[in-house]
Chain A
Amino acid sequence: MMDLASLQTLVGPENVSASLEDRLVYGRDASRLRGECLAVAWPMHPEQVVALVEWARAEAVDLVPRGAGTGLCGGATPQRSLVADLSRLTRIESVDVEQRRARVQAGVVLETLNRRLALAGLFLPVIPGSHRSASIGGMIATDAAGLRAVRYGVMRDWVEEVTLVDGLGRVHRLSGDALNHAAGREGVTGFITEATVRLAPLPRQRSISLMAFDDEAALLAQRRRWLVPELTALEYLNRHAAAALGWEPRPHLLAEFDSAQGEIREPARIAELWRQRDGLYPVLAASGRWLIEDPQVEEDNLVALLSWLDAEQIPAFGHLGVGIVHPCFRPNDERIAALYELVAGWGGQVSGEHGIGLKKKAWTDDAFRAQIRQLKAVYDPQGLINRGKLC
Chain B
Amino acid sequence: MLKEPLENPACIECGLCREVCPMFLILRQERISPRGLAILADEGVASVTFYQCTLCRACRVVCPVGHDPAGERIRGQVVAQGVETEANRIMIANIRQYGNPFGPLKEGEIPKTLTCC
Contact B64 A109 (CB under 8 A): no
Residues of B within 8 A of A152 (CB): none
Residues of A within 8 A of B65 (CB): 282, 285-286, 290
Decide yes or no whether A281 CB sits under 8 A from chain B.
yes
CA distance A310 to B65 in the complex (A): 24
CA distance A24 to B13 in the complex (A): 13
> Shortest beta-carbon distance, A294 to chain B, in Å?
15
Decide yes or no whether B55 CB sits under 8 A from chain A.
no
CA distance A109 to B16 in the complex (A): 11
Contact B28 A90 (CB under 8 A): yes
Which residues of B (1-50) have their CB < 8 Å from a CB of A? Answer: 9, 12-20, 28-31, 33, 35-36, 39-40, 43, 45, 47, 49
Decide yes or no whether B87 CB sits under 8 A from chain A.
no
CA distance A290 to B16 in the complex (A): 14
With known contacts A133-B19, A282-B64, A286-B66, A24–B45 Cβ distance under 8 A: yes
The interface-forming segment of A25-33, A163-171, A183-191, A299-307 is A25-33
With known contacts A21-B31, A26-B30, A30-B13, A132–B64 Cβ distance under 8 A: no
Decide yes or no whether A20 CB sits under 8 A from chain B.
yes
Contact B14 A112 (CB under 8 A): no
Specify which of B9, B29, B43 is in contact with A24 (CB 8 Å cutoff): B43
With known contacts A30-B13, A133-B16, A69–B30 Cβ distance under 8 A: yes
CA distance A20 to B17 in the complex (A): 22
CA distance A68 to B20 in the complex (A): 13
Interface of B is mostly: loop
CA distance A25 to B42 in the complex (A): 11
Interface of A is mostly: loop
Contact A111 B19 (CB under 8 A): yes
| Interface residues on chain B, number (Cβ under 8 Å) | 27
Interface size class of A (residues with CB under 8 A): 20 to 34
> Shortest beta-carbon distance, A180 to chain B, in Å?
27
Interface string of A256-291 (1 = CB under 8 A from B): 000000000000000000000000011001100010
Contact A286 B31 (CB under 8 A): no
With known contacts A22-B31, A85-B30, A132-B19, A285–B12 Cβ distance under 8 A: yes
Contact A130 B12 (CB under 8 A): no
Cβ-closest chain B residue relative to A71: B15
Residues of A within 8 A of B13 (CB): 28-30, 32
Residues of B within 8 A of A42 (CB): 28-29
CA distance A24 to B19 in the complex (A): 20
Decide yes or no whether A196 CB sits under 8 A from chain B.
no
Contact A130 B15 (CB under 8 A): yes
Contact A68 B31 (CB under 8 A): no
Decide yes or no whether B56 CB sits under 8 A from chain A.
no
Residues of A within 8 A of B19 (CB): 109, 111-112, 132-133
With known contacts A24-B39, A25-B31, A286–B9 Cβ distance under 8 A: yes
The CB with the most chain A CB atoms within 10 A, among B9, B19, B66, is that of B19
Which residues of A (14-69) have their CB < 8 Å from a CB of B? Answer: 19-22, 24-26, 28-30, 32, 42, 68-69
Cβ-closest chain A residue relative to B50: A21
Specify which of B12, B36, B45, B66 is in contact with A290 (CB 8 Å cutoff): B12
Specify which of B33, B40, B62 is in contact with A132 (CB 8 Å cutoff): B62
Contact B14 A30 (CB under 8 A): yes
Which residues of A (99-138) have their CB < 8 Å from a CB of B? Answer: 107, 109, 111-112, 130, 132-133
Decide yes or no whether A80 CB sits under 8 A from chain B.
no
The CB with the most chain B CB atoms within 10 A, among A19, A90, A133, is that of A133
A-B pairs with the 8 shortest C-beta distances? Answer: A282-B64, A25-B36, A87-B28, A286-B65, A70-B15, A25-B30, A133-B18, A290-B12
Could you list 12 further interchain pairs (A-B, Cβ under 8 angstroms) beyond the known A24-B45, A132-B19?
A: A21-B40, A21-B47, A22-B31, A25-B30, A25-B31, A28-B39, A30-B14, A32-B13, A69-B15, A85-B30, A282-B64, A286-B65
* Chain B residues engaging chain A, CB cutoff 8 angstroms: 9, 12-20, 28-31, 33, 35-36, 39-40, 43, 45, 47, 49, 62, 64-66
A-B contact pairs, 15 of them (CB 8 A): A24-B40, A25-B35, A29-B13, A30-B14, A68-B18, A69-B30, A85-B30, A87-B29, A87-B30, A132-B20, A133-B15, A133-B17, A281-B64, A282-B65, A286-B9
